[in-house]
Amino acid sequence: MSTQVSLPSEVTLTASEKRAAYLADLLTLAQRSPLSGIDRPWLNELRDHAALRVQEQTFPTQRDEEWRFTDLSALLQTPLEAVKTQKIGTTAIAPFVLPEADQLVFVDGVYAPELSDLTHLPASLIVGNLSALAEQHSDRLQPYLGQQSGANEIFTALNTAGLTDAAILWVPKGVAIDIPIHLLFLSTVSHAALIQPRVLVVAETNSAVTLIEDYGAIGSGSYLTNAVTEIWIADNAEVNHTRVQRDGHHAFHIGKTAVSQARTSRYTCNAVSLGAKLSRHHLEIYQTGAQTETTLNGLTLLHGEQIGDTHSTIALTQPHGTTRQLHKCIIDDKGHAIFNGKVFVPRAAQLTDAGQLNRNLLLSSKARVDTKPQLEIVADNVKCTHGATVGQLEADEVFYLQSRGIDAADARQLLVYAFAYEVIEKIAIASLRRTLSELVQCRSMAVRN
């Protein structure tokens, strides 16, 4: 069996046939990896079902409404092959380590126990990788893994069809974890490879946890990270989730975060996207009980010819739900940002309070943004707002800072940093805030000239 996704002859195939062939080869490549020694009928059935869903679909194009602003042609022109994992040591991961957190590390999609440290977590917590936990906890995991709404979406199904391992975090009833848990996914590849990380988080009733999901690169390959995270939050539980995407400059990153919120649960997501040639994060929130609280903060920084796509769906099906969403984009050079935020409020979701705002800062005349905040409301007793702004640095703001003794270049840099910091300051982990602040400052230096 071939280990590489390659494009057939351009002479003999139409564009649609090329896309179909590429998708078929992607599925074949995803299915090559064994289940890491896991032999469970329910897991095999889950994978087989997902593979069928992939086969029933077509590779997305800009004719599809959900992809009309995002051009995947660069990915289609990138032949992918199986991952050639490299061994790395603690020195290599040092720039990514968060001293406040215990960490679970995956290298090129493979769990690295020698780099992980879970020693400070309570014994009641179930945390580790699927291969190690599947036998003992199958009855617990089966109702949750791969069961979120939206599981049949093409890239989500592709991830499930190739499921080899996963990061597992299960917080028992009534347990509040004081120590943040850092899920670190590193790529070391210098070739074009397919990497499919998976995360499953279950927070039982009255529990609380802080989670950092972090994607970084040591190698420089044109790899595709196709990541899926499922989060289940039970009654009155709380999950504080920070997601950082800082893949390599030549990489492609497609991510799905699917969250189910039960009655009076609280979920916060701080998503920061800095890396990858093309990135897309699809965040889906499904309300299954009343009086939920959902807070989504996002920051996308783009330069060069980067493409950054953020899609979010908040499905409110119960009364008294509260949501707040703020997504900011800073676009320089020829960068292209996409934002599509949907909030659904059916008749049953009375007394919903939802607010959504997308703010975009263009630093170049060639920078581009496509934004589409979207409300669909049927309920008649709600408070819902949405909006979007697109602008450049204000000359009067720069002048004001100059009048206070700050030169024009420093003034522009300070304004860009302040625009981004409104999101960064909401991250609960101090060391990560500092790291991201430094990265933003480095990016904002470009506006000095």
b/e burial code for range 339-373 (CB count within 10 A of at least 16 → b) = bbbbbbbeeebbebebebbbbbbbbeeebbbebeb
Task: Going from the first residue of the chain to its last (449 residues), give the mean pLDDT of each consecutive group of 10, the final group possibly shorter.
Answer: 52 86 94 69 94 96 94 94 86 95 95 95 94 90 95 97 95 96 94 94 98 93 95 98 96 98 98 96 97 98 96 96 97 96 95 96 94 92 93 81 81 88 94 92 66
* pLDDT recorded at residue 399: 72
Q: What is the pLDDT of residue 398?
A: 78
N-to-C CA span, the chain: 52
pLDDT one-digit tens code per residue, 226-258:
999 999 999 999 999 999 999 999 999 999 999
pTM for the full model?
Answer: 0.94
CA distance 417 to 289: 38
Alpha carbon distance 386, 49 (integer Å): 38
pLDDT, tens digit, for every residue of 350-402?
Answer: 999 999 999 999 999 999 999 999 999 999 899 999 999 999 887 888 777 87
| Strand pairing report for 80-81 and 4-5 | antiparallel
Strands across the sheet with 322-331, in order? 110-111, 102-107, 181-187, 208-217, 238-246, 266-273, 293-302, 322-331, 353-362, 383-391
For residue 422, CA distances in Å to 326, 329, 396, 415, 417 come to 10, 12, 21, 11, 9
How does DSSP classify residue 190?
A: S
Estimate to the nearest angstrom the gap between the alpha carbon of 242 and the chain centroid. 9
What pLDDT, on a 0 to 100 scale, did the predictor assign at position 419?
93
Helix (DSSP H) and strand (DSSP E) numbers for the chain? 9, 22
Q: Which residues face 339 on adjacent strands?
A: 310, 371
